[in-house]
Amino acid sequence: MQFRYFALLGLVGLLIIPKIGQARPVSYPGGITAMFMNNGDVNSAHVHYSPTAKYSLGYKYEHWRDRDFNMHALQLNNLIKRWNKKETQANFYIKSGVGVAHSLDDSVTDKNDFAAYTGLALDWESRRFFTSYENRYTDAGDIDDFFMQSARVGVAPYIGDYGDLHTWLMLEVEHSPKSDDKFTITPLVRMFKGVHLVEGGVSNRGDVMFNYVVRY
């Protein structure tokens, strides 16, 4: 269980190292972002505040249905590097959290345990194409521990102007080595306009994905 202590140290380190650039998990200075994510594995809600345009800190709740536990965590999104080109942009950031997990499994004696997670995320996009990769390792003590990763590719069927409704057609592949279904494939549609972003799809397992993000 040494990971939980390293994750805590890493989170503290990310809070004090110099911050550079911007990333989409970070809003404008003083901005608040609310995210509601739902797929075949987990339902989550995440609200974060950006003290600057370089990092954000917030509360995250997760309900892992098949893994039978809930988690409450303090999460930090921190940009490591951003590449801004004339026609494209790319981002590399780290998302880490610490908190408490609560088991919903009746066979577990100790219902609550320390929880920590960390992972990296990369994305590249132009106005036409999009690619991303993300991973995360979660240690919830005696309740559970697991690694997950996912990748996306997307294409915009049309190029909209500023203020238009923008649409992306995407394909997500998720890999969870400890799950019965190690690979999940989800075609989805993403739409955003102004401060609102909505995406939805149905996986090869028949599970519905629905995500909603709004920035204030």
Q: How many domains does the chain have?
A: 1
- Condensed to tens digits (0 to 9), the pLDDT of residues 190-199 reads 999 989 999 9
Least confident of 19-33, 55-69, 144-158, 200-214: 19-33
DSSP conformation class of 108: -
Which residue's entry shows tokens 């190292």?
17
pLDDT of residue 43 exceeding 50: yes
Burial of 11 (0-12, 13-18, 19+ CB in 10 A): buried
Contacts of 20-23 with CB under 8 Å at 24 or more apart are 20/54, 20/79, 20/80, 20/81, 20/82, 21/54, 21/79, 21/81, 21/82, 21/91, 22/53, 22/54, 22/79, 22/82, 23/77, 23/79, 23/82, 23/91, 23/93
Where is 166: in which H helix or E strand? Answer: strand 166-175
- Condensed to tens digits (0 to 9), the pLDDT of residues 156-192 reads 999 988 889 999 999 999 999 988 889 999 999 999 9
CA torsion through residues 86, 92, 98, 103, sign: positive
Write out the two tokens for 123: 């994305």
Contacts of 1 (CB under 8 A, 6+ apart): 139, 141
pTM over 0.85: no
CATH number (domain holding residue 156): 2.40.160.40
Contacts of 84 (CB under 8 A, 6+ apart): none
Task: Please tell me the distance from the alpha carbon of residue 65 to that of residue 43, in angstroms, as a whole number.
Answer: 8
Bigger pLDDT: 61 or 5? Answer: 61
Domain hosting residue 128, numbered range: 2-215
Contacts of 3 (CB under 8 A, 6+ apart): 116, 137, 139, 145
Average pLDDT over the chain, rounded to whole?
87
Instruction: Judge contact between 196 and 213, C-beta under 8 A.
Output: yes
